[in-house]
């Protein structure tokens, strides 16, 4: 199944992931912008590394869009209604037949196996700089308030 010579547990670059999934790299980037659940690791310079669970999720998205005929909007609704675990199961490379979407029980929908990542935070230096700016603004606001009080 894998086109690369890497082990199944190895991380993949975007080009390796695209090759393995047989889709262009720009499609992976587009899917990242449309599905918050797709979030590969990003290293310095924005280089993406896809974990095995990312590839499984991408296989599920590919199936929804290319095989099952969902639109982007429909696939997003599917994520919302059925959860990440259901989409990951659709992309399971083990060769087992995925369960029908209607047969997924409520427990699977409520307990996804992959957490949606937190929003990115600024780097430590940038965070300190933002904290300093915020403190300056709060100080200026307090001075203005004091000056405007009769």
At 41 the three-state DSSP class reads strand
Nearest-CA neighbor of 19 among 1, 38, 41? 1
User: Residue 83 — left, alpha, or beta (φ > 0 → left; ψ -120 to 50 → alpha)?
Assistant: left
The pTM for the full model equals: 0.58
Q: What is the pLDDT of residues 36-72, one digit of tens each?
A: 898 888 888 888 899 999 999 999 999 999 998 999 9
Q: Give residue 150's pLDDT.
A: 72
Q: Give residue 112's pLDDT.
A: 46
Q: What is the pLDDT of residues 96-138, one digit of tens each?
A: 444 444 444 444 444 445 555 666 666 767 777 887 888 888 8
């Amino acid at each position: 199944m894998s086109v690369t010579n890497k082990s199944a547990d190895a991380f993949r670059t975007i080009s390796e992931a695209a090759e393995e999934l047989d889709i262009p790299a720009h499609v992976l980037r587009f899917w990242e912008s449309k599905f918050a659940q797709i979030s590969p690791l990003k290293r310095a310079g924005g280089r993406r590394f896809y974990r095995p669970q990312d590839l499984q999720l991408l296989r599920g998205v590919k199936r929804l869009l290319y095989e099952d005929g969902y639109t982007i909007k429909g696939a997003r609704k599917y994520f919302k209604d059925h959860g990440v675990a259901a989409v990951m199961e659709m992309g399971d490379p083990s060769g087992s037949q995925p369960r029908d979407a209607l047969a997924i029980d409520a427990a699977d929908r409520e307990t996804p196996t992959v957490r949606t990542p937190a929003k990115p935070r600024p780097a430590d230096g940038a965070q300190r700089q933002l904290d300093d700016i915020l403190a300056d603004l709060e100080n200026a606001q307090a001075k203005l308030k004091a000056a405007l009080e009769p």
